[in-house]
Amino acid sequence: MISLIKGFHDILPDQSLKWAFILDTARSCLSRFGFREIITPIMEKTELFQRGIGQTTDIVEKEMYTFSDLSGDSLSLRPEATAGILRSVVEHSLLRHEQSLKLFSIGPMFRRERPSKGRFRQFFQINAEVLGDNSPLVDAETILAATSILEDIGTQDFCVDVNSVGCKDCRNIYRAELRQFLKPSFGRLCPDCQRRFDTNPLRVLDCKEPECISICRNAPLISDWLDTACKDHFGQVVNALDSLGVNYRVEPRLVRGLDYYTRTAFEFVHSKLGRTKAIGGGGRYDSLISELGGPDVSGIGFGIGIERLSMNLPDEGPLYQRKIDIFVAIIGSDARYKCFEIVNQLRRAGLSVEARYSDMSLKAQMKLADRLGAQWVIMVGENELTQGQVTIRNMKTKEQFLVELGGIEQAVRGEKS
């Protein structure tokens, strides 16, 4: 037997119902907030992620699936969605026609991380981006859009952690201060954090190694080094979140693993999920679009992991149970071909219909109909066909009645009950 690649996973038919519910709910919610869907390739030129995400991030340095194709070009499976979406926006000049854009995408991402509960090497994300509006109210509204998805799906026990990581100017001053603080403890830092020390010391604050956590406990806070404009921006964001009633907390040590974030950064944290407890997160990026060759406009976005959302929901729920309109129970082999016609006529009429053409007892077929969530069962046997009628059973009320062969659709659509 050939088994799965390590870190990848199958989404089985019983699970796909829950996934479909999550995706349909997310699309509906984002549509309410004015987002439109964009579909980009899962593979891009490696340069895009190096420029967009940052060459000193763990994602680019260690986690991307990168290879050379036959022409010698370096290509990578996308590790996140924002860079590809912005590449498409710039390439197709979408901001030339609209001053502000709201876009979302849903699909797989790829990172060669260590697999763990809820963390895979192919994972699926809901991503949303707001481009061209730098108001702090947009930050708060974007966070509300994400929390609305979680609430609509039924996610409980989550909170939004928010922080400001400043602009490039105040963050550069803070980096120098943080290096000074970390320098006496450099030898105790884990190998990854030692490597990050010069190029990206903020990532040390996000390390999950116990010794690094201990060292950073008394580290200076970036909030103490924000300039006036960044402080004012963040103050307006939290005031707006208060007015919206969003359940949030200011987490002064929150940083994100991507270099492009400026000012507002946020994570959706769940108390019962894994070591990191994060369902997703995002932040503002005020120069990324121009760095990728587009206009000098701002953006803010978020990503939510579908696997982690799915873990928070029961495997079976009333909103995503398997349901069909009709099960056709075939009584005797003589009725088989007529039932075949009935089943597919009803499907062409827009109803969901199932039947089993191999020999099964009526009792077994009724059990199957119940398991499939059939609203109606149509029982067809030789006697019914002789009379030109079928027996219809309402699986909820258990009521049974006879209907002419030509009146099945009208009966199950409620024109007869």
| pLDDT at residue number 61 | 65
Tell me, yes or no, whether 23 and 135 share the same domain: yes
Q: Is residue 161 part of a domain?
A: yes
Tell me, yes or no, whether 19 and 52 share the same domain: yes
Tell me, yes or no, whether 235 and 334 share the same domain: no
| pLDDT at residue number 348 | 92
Tell me, yes or no, whether 411 and 272 share the same domain: no
Please say if the pLDDT value at position 276 is more than 60: no
Q: Are strands 278-285 and 299-305 parallel, antiparallel or unpaired?
A: antiparallel
Q: How confident is the model at residue 154 (pLDDT cuts 50, 70, 90)?
A: confident
Q: pTM of the prediction?
A: 0.85
Tell me, yes or no, whether 113 and 55 share the same domain: yes
Please say if the pLDDT value at position 56 is more than 70: no
> What is the tens place of the pLDDT at every residue in 129-152?
999 999 999 999 999 999 999 999
Helix, strand or coil, per DSSP, at residue 27 = helix
Q: How confident is the model at residue 417 (pLDDT cuts 50, 70, 90)?
A: very low
Tell me, yes or no, whether 118 and 27 share the same domain: yes
Give the pair of three-digit tokens for residue 12. Answer: 């089985």
Tell me, yes or no, whether 152 and 281 share the same domain: yes
Asked if 99 and 132 touch (Cβ cutoff 8 Å), the reply is yes
Q: How confident is the model at residue 59 (pLDDT cuts 50, 70, 90)?
A: low
Tell me, yes or no, whether 290 and 363 share the same domain: no
Q: Is residue 269 part of a domain?
A: yes
CATH number where 372 lies: 3.40.50.800
Range of the domain at 352: 324-415
CATH number where 69 lies: 3.30.930.10
Name the phi and psi angles at 94, rounded to 5: -65, -30
Asked if 107 and 81 touch (Cβ cutoff 8 Å), the reply is yes
